[in-house]
């Protein structure tokens, strides 16, 4: 079994030049999509040529929000509009400003055992699949597990 046998080819991508607002809207739109069932939410980021440029995960966005607060007092954190202030700090940010750059990727011919090693070693939730630097799919760890354990149900 290879990556091409288990990858999801309907990959949600976003341009590195997109606004952070557009990224969050796209995450909201895809939340609950059956293609992403049991998959960690996140976006594959592409450059102007459709090549893999990075990944953007909800945790990355949350970290950027927290970092934008700088040094705040406990009293400031308790203000009702605290998260509104944090959001305003990121209003002009682009995806490329906070995305994880140079993500690990695999080709369509990557062997499942090698994928498992990557998932276990790095604790990834997803790995983009590329052909000639262009994103052609993504592998999520839960569907990988299901593919590997099919024999349990025969």
CATH of the domain at 89: 3.10.580.10
Domain tally, the chain = 1
Residue 111, helix vs strand vs coil: strand
Task: Using alpha carbons only, give the angle 20, 23, 24 rounded to the nearest 5 degrees.
Answer: 90
Greater model confidence, 71 or 139: 139
The boundaries of the domain holding residue 37 are 3-153
Dihedral sign for Cα atoms in the order 121, 132, 42, 19:
positive
Reported as a single tens digit per residue, the pLDDT across 95-148 is: 999 998 878 999 999 999 999 999 999 888 889 999 999 999 999 888 888 888
Query: Order of strands across the sheet with 43-46?
Result: 13-15, 43-46, 52-56, 100-101
| The two three-digit tokens of residue 151, written as one number | 């024999």
Residue 38's pLDDT is: 45
Q: How confident is the model at residue 72 (pLDDT cuts 50, 70, 90)?
A: confident
pLDDT at 32: 63
- Please check the confidence at residue 153 and state whether its pLDDT lies above 70: yes
pTM for this prediction: 0.82
C-alpha distances in Å from residue 52, one per residue of 1, 71, 103, 105, 143: 24, 34, 8, 9, 22
């Amino acid at each position: 079994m290879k990556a091409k046998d288990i990858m999801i080819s309907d990959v949600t991508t976003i341009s590195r030049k997109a606004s952070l607002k557009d990224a969050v809207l796209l995450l909201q739109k895809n939340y609950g999509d059956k293609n992403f069932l049991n998959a960690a939410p996140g976006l594959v980021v592409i450059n102007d040529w459709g090549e893999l440029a990075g990944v953007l995960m909800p945790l990355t966005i949350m970290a950027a929000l927290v970092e934008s607060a700088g040094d705040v007092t406990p009293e400031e954190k308790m203000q009702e509009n605290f998260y509104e202030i944090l959001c305003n700090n990121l209003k002009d940010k682009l995806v490329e400003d906070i995305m994880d750059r140079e993500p690990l990727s695999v080709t369509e011919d990557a062997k499942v055992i090698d994928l498992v090693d990557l998932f276990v070693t790095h604790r990834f939730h997803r790995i983009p699949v590329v052909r000639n630097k262009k994103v052609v799919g993504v592998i999520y760890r839960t569907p990988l597990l299901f593919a590997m354990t099919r024999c349990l149900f025969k």
